[in-house]
Structure 1
Amino acid sequence: MMRLPWVCWSECVREVGWQTLYCGLNACERLAAAHQLLSPTYPSLDVIIAAPGCNRRLFPNVPAAPGMPCTGEDRSIYRRGARRWRKLYRVNGHIFQAKRFNRRAFCAYCQDRIWGLGRQGFKCIQCKLLVHKKCHKLVQKPCSNEHVDPIEVKDDANGESTLGRAASVRSRAEPEPPLPETPPAPVAAPVRNEDLEPGSQRQYSLEDFELIRVIGRGSYAKVLMVELKRTKRVYAMKVIKKALVTDDEDIDWVQTEKHVFETASNHPFLVGLHSCFQTPSRLFFVIEFVRGGDLMFHMQRQRRLPEEHARFYAAEISLALHFLHERGVIYRDLKLDNVLLDHEGHIKLTDYGMCKEGVRPGDTTSTFCGTPNYIAPEILRGEEYGFSVDWWALGVLTYEMLAGRSPFDISHAADNPDQNTEDYLFQVILEKTIRIPRSLSVKAASVLKGFLNKSPSERLGCGEGGFLDIVSHPFFKSIEWEMLEQKQVVPPFKPRLEGERDLANFPPEFTDEPVHLTPDNDTEIADIDQSEFEGFEYVNPLLMSLEDCV
């Protein structure tokens, strides 16, 4: 079976135009249409199905119905989600994982209480043994792979915790089983506006919003377009099932996302937060609704961008990243999907679930996370890293905008299963010399080489000059940075929108979904520790005051 050459695409575009070719068609149907148009010119072509800019995956069939996927088509290849690879520590058969304890917990080795900030101790994911980080290498009893019965913790008359008799007679050499944690506290009923005393902060609930349409979906969240009934303002609502927030690290990430959303509310190129609330089964982030769609959606229709467009978007993204870095936040998930366009054509970064906060100058972290195609070499090498990983990801994204493909595209990867794996992709990122297309200008090639330097210390934006090195780079010479930050520079492209609720720039695979939340499962809710989500509610005081003026 032959691969459809790009010359065929160019003839097809001249025949019907991009608008007609893409409107309402999925990857399979687009190429089927191209085959019908070009069969007189290329009679030997079979029906070949591919998606431009998506590693050219091939599907030798047509869909059963319009809008349905082809046999063998996996939509995840188009919008590959970010992931975190969890660190595990293996000692004497135990598989320990860092854990945050917000209730009483005691080390099974030294019997002292596990306390402190962050993830203070380790927990075996098999037998649930709890130990201090400093004690986990000293555990001598092998893991039984079975859950260990807990030892009772009692409170004496003075309110202090004491161990039962069984604990007091054990030697230091034999670890204690984990201690029980306090039972979950029930979630308080949502506070209604009319129940609040004058001067107190308003709280929101699901009843305050009308659910309009699904506009996105991630690995553990759904994003809806909603309307606040009282003001008729339109927002996006990110919905997370608590049952999918399975451990303490997940809870930490949700809290981090909330904090970064709060911080981002003060910047023109970051999606800000309106409010947060919860039900017994779900967490809700109400955030700004950005109507212009994401860069992935637009790139799939244009293949590549003019250099002026790419320069404008890269400059605004740089300002957004610099704002986060100044506040101790590593973004870690920059990709086409997370760069949105507002109704004027300015960018806004969204999705802060991969962020690392509290990073001071010179600090580093080591979590292995990110979207595979954008992961920096230092992460793959297992090195400690800082803000440098965001500038690498900006280099990958800028390359995609200018060249219309990833810098790590592998020729004929679809024909070789061994070259179609994440491990092979990581090997390419670490070892392959990145080739800059000759069609790009000298300045564009220079900025790409600067961002995509495999050595973080030599990467553009990571030297002694920091962000000033990016500002002064010849590629950005035409940018008026102060005017750009104040949104006084006219964007090179303005999305076509017919109204505030126009969803023409969102993929139909999302907007065609039914817009309802599945009924709560009482058994599932009973297993959720609701105390983990105490204090999640939040209302942005600035947006609240604006609504009061309506």
Structure 2
Amino acid sequence: MTCYRILGEGSYGKVVLASHPAIDQKLAVKLVQKKRVFKANDCNAIFRERDILKAARESPFITHLFGSFQTENHLIFAMECLSRGDFFDTFVEGAPFPENTIRYFIAEMLCGLQFLHSKEIVHRDIKPENILLDDAGHIKIADLGLAVSGVTESKRIEGRAGTILYMAPEILQRLPYFGMADYYALGIIVYVMAVGGHPFLSCDESSEEILKKVTTLEPDYPEDMDTNLRDIIERFLCKDQEKRMRLVSEIREHPFLQMVDWKETENGKSPPPFPAGNLSEEDLSEGVPVDEFIQSVDRGKRIKPEKQKEFYGFTYVSERLKLQPVA
């Protein structure tokens, strides 16, 4: 595997642009330092993320995991790399969006979220940066590092997780919650797409101020906003998760979505409103082998042999991975 540049960094490690001669596709490779996993005392989280990505492999609206493997000091996820980047780039430049764009976005996001929830998975960090666009303009939900499986209405979880600007009231209030928290985050994004600003918050507010506003304030809506668009946003942003669940139970039948061809959308055939444009090909003529890249950016003590057993069984290869012979 050859690495070219860093795409992003997180608490556990880095995501880099990479390629492999046996795969005719660019890869987003997540490098997780084992020593950071041990420091966080949460080895199970790495296996949980891998297993959730495996469970989500059937959906075209979730980024695909091609495989996972490990070196002496690193755990590595090889993911599909989406050339158009995350939705945040489009998000900040485009708001407010036309209604047909908002409708398309809601439809594909619903397909992705409903798939996750059908597998008893709650994402917990839905935000523009974690929504990617493929070459054609279709949506891919990414970064399932905070996702939790085995979550249903009757089997809820607790604990704050995610990005505070998109946290549901039940998470901020530290109440038991389930997949409805993802719908609330979707509502925040849709509101910003429709209006151009956050429904409650401004910059540099304390956690206490955010909690108070999110749990007490109602959004302002432009007088000329389409009534059906407003209604679907209000359903997503309902502060009571029990009521929110009832309001979104038949969300595909909502009047704002009546023009959506759900079969076409589920199959990834719905024409995206984002023009494909001319994507410039990145120069991949120069790179370094993954081992050299790791050694150059992540120096540190080696993991002791007795600790390596914590990661037995981490390797996985997707059935979608069509390897080509390496010359």
- For the criterion TM > 0.5, the same-fold answer is yes
Task: Please give the residue correspondences for 1:94-493 in structure 2 after superposition, counting only pairs within 5 Å.
Answer: 209-246=1-38, 250-410=42-202, 420-459=205-244, 462-463=245-246, 466=249, 469-493=250-274
The answer to whether the 8 A contact 1:242-1:528 is kept is no
Offset, 1:489: 1.2
Normalising by structure 2, report the TM-score. Answer: 0.90
For structure 1, which segment, 298-307 or 266-275, has the greater mean C-alpha deviation from structure 2 after superposition? 298-307
Task: Check conservation: 2:235, 2:247, Cα contact below 8 A.
Answer: no
Distance 1:502 1:477 in 2: 43
3-state SS of paired residue (2:161): strand
The equivalent position to 2:316 in structure 1, one of 507, 532, 538, is 538
Higher relative contact order (CA 8 A, sep 6+): 2
CA pair 500-263 structure 1, distance change in 2 beyond 3 A: farther
Q: Is the 8 A contact 2:173 2:211 kept in 1?
A: no
Of the structure 1 ranges 389-398 and 293-302, higher mean CA displacement relative to structure 2 is found in 293-302
Cα contact 1:338–1:351 (8 A) shared by 2? yes
Contact 1:343 1:497 in 2 (8 A): no
Q: Which amino acid aligns with 1:486?
A: N
- Alpha-carbon distance between aligned partners in 2 of 1:325 and 1:263, rounded to the nearest angstrom: 11
Of the three residues 525, 537, 550, the one matched with 2:303 is 525
Q: Do the aligned residues in 2 keep the contact of 1:291 with 1:502 (CA within 8 Å)?
A: no
Kept in 2, the 8 Å contact 1:265–1:273? The answer is yes
**Aligned partner of 2:229: which letter?**
A
- SS of corresponding position for 1:453: coil
Q: Which runs of 5+ in 2 are unaligned?
A: 285-291
Cα deviation for residue 499 of structure 1 reads 4.8
Post-superposition shift, 1:496? 2.8
- Superposed CA deviations along residues 491-525 of structure 1, whole A, max 9, x for unmatched, are 0113434355489xxxxxxxxxxx94344545353
Deviation at 1:331? Answer: 1.0
1:369-416: CA deviations, max 9, x gaps? 111011111112221111111111111111121112111233xx56xx
CA spacing shift, 1:517–1:404, aligned 2, 3 Å: farther
- The answer on whether the counterparts of 2:137 and 2:276 sit within 8 Å (CA) in structure 1 is yes
Matched, 1:547 2:326: no
Supply the distance in 2 between the matched residues of 1:447 and 1:497 (Cα, whole angstroms).
34
TM-score normalised per structure 1: 0.55
State the number of aligned residues.
318
Q: Secondary structure at the match of 2:100?
A: helix
Which stretches in structure 1 are left out of the alignment for 5+ residues?
1-208, 415-419, 504-514
3-state DSSP of counterpart to 2:263: helix
Listed one character per residue, the Cα deviations across residues 448-480 of structure 1 (whole Å, up to 9, x for unaligned) are 111101011111xx12872xx110111111111
Q: Match of 1:311, SS?
A: helix
Distance (whole Å) between structure 1 residues aligned to residue 105 and residue 247 of structure 2: 25
Q: Secondary structure at the match of 1:226?
A: strand
In 2, distance between residues paired with 1:329 and 1:287?
19
Residues 521 and 405 of structure 1, relative CA distance in 2, 3 Å threshold: same
**In 1, Cα distance between the equivalents of 2:226 and 2:12?**
41
Q: Give the distance between the partners of 2:16 and 2:190, measured in 1 at CA.
A: 29
CA distance in 1, matches of 2:92, 2:190: 15
Distance in 2 (CA, whole Å) between partners of 1:456 and 1:502 is 48
Q: Which structure would you say has the larger Rg?
A: 1
Displacement after TM superposition at 1:271 (Å): 0.4
Shift of 1:254: 1.4
**Structure 1 382/436 Cα, relative in aligned 2: closer, same or farther at 3 Å?**
same
Cα distance change on mapping 1:522 and 1:484 into 2, 3 Å: closer
Structure 1 residue 362: deviation in Å? 2.1
| C-alpha displacement of 1:301 | 2.1
Indicate how the Cα distance of structure 1 residues 528 and 518 shifts in structure 2: closer, same or farther if over 3 A, else same: farther
Question: SS of the counterpart of 2:320?
Answer: helix
3-state DSSP class of the match of 1:212? strand
Q: Distance in 1 between matches of 2:201 and 2:283?
A: 34
Change (3 A) 1:408 1:360: closer
TM superposition shift of 1:336: 0.3
2: distance between equivalents of 1:221 and 1:234? 19
Give secondary structure in 2 for the equivalent of 1:405. coil
- Amino acid in structure 1 at the alignment position of 2:111: L
Normalized per residue, which structure has more helix? 2
Cα distance, 1:349–1:249 mapped onto 2, change above 3 Å: farther
**Shift of residue 280, structure 1, vs aligned partner:** 1.6
Instruction: Read off the aligned partner of 2:272 and give its amino acid letter.
Output: P
Distance in 2, matches of 1:502 and 1:429, equals 45
Q: Distance in 1 between matches of 2:269 and 2:199?
A: 32
Amino acid at match of 1:463: R
Structure-1 residue corresponding to 2:287: none
Alignment-mate amino acid for residue 305 of structure 1: F
